[in-house]
Chains A and B, each alone.
Chain A
Amino acid sequence: METLSTPTLASHLRALSALIRKDWKQYWRYPLNAISSVFHPLVWIAPVYFMGLAFSHNGKALGFAQYSGTTDFMSFILLGTMLENFINAVFWGMGYALKNDMDSGVMESNWLTPIPRLLILIGHSVTNLVVTAITSTGMLFFGGLIFGFHPTGDVLTALLPILPMMIGLYGFGFAFAALVMLMREANTMVDLSSFLVQIFSGSNFPVNALPRYLLPVALALPLTYGLDSVRARLIGTTPLVPLNVEMILLIVFMFVMLWIGTAAFRALERRVRILGTLGQH
């Protein structure tokens, strides 16, 4: 039998599966956290629901429709929140998992194993993505029951733009995880960046409602087109640009981000090894 010290594809897959199993076990060890991740996004949404009521007449947000093309602001927000959960899973899954490893004192020993570093990061994100899929489905179900969710388009077509968007996000996640390693701090960076991305990619509102001077930031984020594209396909909102153009942008983003992310990770990881700060936190 091959050992990890003679790396092969099979040994890499074994290491990946061990990482996933470990994270999976650790996650379900705290069942209240799992339950809260279903209901927690609804807590963020509830104030927006009441706010929406305050701006509506007979349950219709006519002002909102002028920007988005739909008066159904709750379906708009629920969908945005669900996609945002996946985006965060890549942020948290990699950058935050590394910080957890640092705090638990296992980072250095994990790093010394003969496994590709990027594989460690991917392994950390897989459980997070599976858990996000489970909890987001639960969130959409309960959110639909409480606030109402009315998809009108084809679900499978709506899934198309998600694929290049998520793969591209991995590139970003690699670079971000390396930054966490260098800075040795994750909470603020993770919270802040994911919150900013959430605002500028329009998870809770159509980006064309942003003040003019902030709109270029939103349009420079590929995630904006991902969210916009899924919404246009599923709940019939007015897209920012034609849907096929959005798809091309997402595919280009996927390749560019994977390339930049991998290069940034390698450079920063090398820097951390030179500094010798891998075991510090």
Chain B
Amino acid sequence: MRSEPIVSAPLGRSTSLNEMRALAAVIRREWTIFIRYPSWIISLLIWPIIFPMGYILTARALSGVDGSGLTQFQINTGLTEYVGYMAVGTMIWMWQNVVLWNVGGALRNEQMRGTLESNWLSPTWRFAYLLGASVPQLISMLVMLLVSGLEYAFLFGVKFQGSLPLTLLVILVSIPAVYGLGFAFASLVITMKEANAFVFLVRGIVMVFCGVTYPLAIQPQWMQNVAAWLPQTYIIHAVRSAALSTEGFQGIAHDLQMLVLFGAFWLALGMAVFAWMERRARQTGAIGQY
């Protein structure tokens, strides 16, 4: 018996199946590019160690030979140790940073390679280009978070006294906010064409306001007010609470609530900005320019 082809509709006719095929093709392509450069292994293994190391060693220098600075730190912040605290903060910052570069820069990279315009003209679901770039990135980031945790425990001696399921829950709930921002960012970047400046701005805001390496209480009140509007503040606090303390669900309940709200907001905004950019690109005809 002759079997019918599973997929008969061409890409020219838009069906859900075609959209999924386009998405799968983009994921495959992004994955191939990702593993083509073996340096990703270095990024995965080495960055989680050396990035927090800069801050941890500065804290060590500030502590002084006799530990008098550390005593002052304990008086000022109420924290007993800083290594785990900084390791978790910098780990979340790295996650957002990589999403901004990779997901946020996905369309811009296509623009620079000169393939964006031709892809845009093909009868495919355009959001697939962005979504497809996010999938391999999300997988690699989840692996990186896992590797980071192991490295902090074994190399830095961080004691993860909290709960692994709660930590995973926080990471899961954080995904829409982190990637929603990446989607909105990607659309803005191909319109404004200055990816570096935008990445520096956004990751800079996270670095300065969200308490990556120090407690928020150290900041002036106006900075604490700004931090309250940034989802990364809640992600960092929640992961620290879930992984390092024994507070349990109570310690992260408020953060989770805020992250759900921020996630919905950023995902909606990300898709809205993408739709706006898509329309604008057709009106101005400038999508191929860089």
Give the B-binding residues of A (Cβ under 8 A).
30, 32-33, 35-36, 39-40, 43-44, 46-48, 50-57, 61-68, 73, 103, 183-185, 187-189, 192, 195-196, 198-199, 204-206, 209-210
Contacts and interface: CB of A to CB of B under 8 A. Distances in A.
B55 A43 contact: no
Given A187-B39, A199-B57, A205-B57, 18 more contacts: A30-B196, A36-B196, A36-B200, A40-B204, A43-B203, A50-B218, A51-B214, A53-B76, A54-B218, A57-B72, A61-B62, A62-B69, A64-B61, A67-B61, A188-B39, A189-B39, A205-B60, A206-B61
A35 B197 contact: yes
What's the dominant secondary structure at chain A's contact region? Answer: helix
Interface string B56-95: 0111111111111110110011000000000000000000
A35 to B, nearest CB: 7
A51 B213 contact: yes
B47 interface: yes
B50 A73 contact: no
B63 A33 contact: no
Contacts, number: 140
Contacts of A68: 61
Given A35-B197, A54-B77, A54-B218, A63 B207 contact: no
Given A46-B207, A51-B55, A188 B60 contact: no
B257 interface: no
Given A43-B200, A55-B70, A199-B53, A188 B42 contact: yes
Contacts of B213: 47-48, 50-51
Contacts of A33: 194, 196-197
A36 B66 contact: no
A188 B204 CA distance: 20
A187 to B, nearest CB: 8
B69 A63 contact: yes
B37 interface: yes
A175 B57 CA distance: 29
A267 B76 CA distance: 56
Given A54-B218, A66-B65, A185 B39 contact: yes
Given A63-B70, A192-B50, A196-B50, A53 B218 contact: yes
Contact of A50 (B43, B67, B197, B219): B219
Given A32-B194, A63-B72, A199-B50, A43 B67 contact: no
Contacts of B76: 53-55
Chain B contact surface mostly: helix
Contacts of B286: none
Nearest to A52: B62
Contact of B58 (A30, A48, A195): A48
Nearest to B208: A46
Nearest to A68: B61
A64 B62 CA distance: 4
B288 interface: no
A32 B197 contact: yes
B69 A64 contact: yes
A195 B197 contact: no
A50, A54, A199 interface centre (most CB from chain B within 10 Å): A54
A139 to B, nearest CB: 13
Which of B42, B51, B59, B77 gathers most chain A CB within 10 Å?
B59
26 contacts: A30-B193, A32-B192, A33-B196, A35-B197, A36-B197, A43-B203, A47-B55, A47-B208, A48-B58, A50-B214, A50-B218, A51-B59, A53-B76, A56-B69, A56-B72, A62-B69, A63-B62, A63-B67, A63-B69, A63-B72, A192-B43, A195-B51, A198-B54, A199-B50, A204-B57, A205-B60
Contacts of B46: 192
B68 A48 contact: no
A54 B214 contact: yes
